[in-house]
Amino acid sequence: MKTYTADELKNVLKKHKLWMSDEPEGEKADLSEANLSGADLSEANLSGADLRWANLSWANLSGADLSEANLSGANLREANLSGASDSSVCRMDFGGWSICIRSKETSIGCQKHTNEKWLEWTPDSPEIKQMHENASEWWKIHQEAVKAAIRVVMNKSKQGDSK
């Protein structure tokens, strides 16, 4: 896991901001597998950033823009997500697969679909069966917990939109 100094992280965020503005010297933030535990990322624009498997435990992400950021497998334990643009995030691991739930879509392993689809699918749905040889059995065991978490995140997002 790569660890960044405050200056290195500031440089990554600066290049990412330029990338977001389509500037030629810009570069999409690749913080995948980074150790960002306790990092101050408050108000950071991480839209579209690669944060797969990053350790964001205890990180300050308050007010950060996490829209379209890839948080698959990221550790968000005790991270401060207050006021983050996509603060309706729930991350879990069940039976060997990492789950990242957002207000509109959920990723389970490498499968990313709308929340509406996940909520309608059963273990016998062809879409589930095609995902992995053990997906139907896994979904049979974990679907109720995953669906409940999806509903909570969706409701939290709706409450935030009405404020």
The pLDDT assigned to 88 comes to 56
Mean pLDDT lowest among 80-89, 131-140, 151-160: 80-89
The residues facing 108 across adjacent strands are 99, 111
Residues 6+ apart with CB under 8 A from 23: none
What mean pLDDT is predicted for residues 115-123? 97
> CA–CA separation, 56 vs 129, rounded Å?
32
pLDDT at 161 over 60: no
The pLDDT assigned to 65 comes to 86
Question: Within 10 Å of residue 96's Cβ, how many Cβ atoms?
Answer: 8
pLDDT at 82 over 80: no
Instruction: For the chain, give the mean pLDDT.
Output: 87
Percent of the chain with pLDDT over 70: 91
Helix, strand and coil in the chain, % to nearest 5: 30, 20, 50
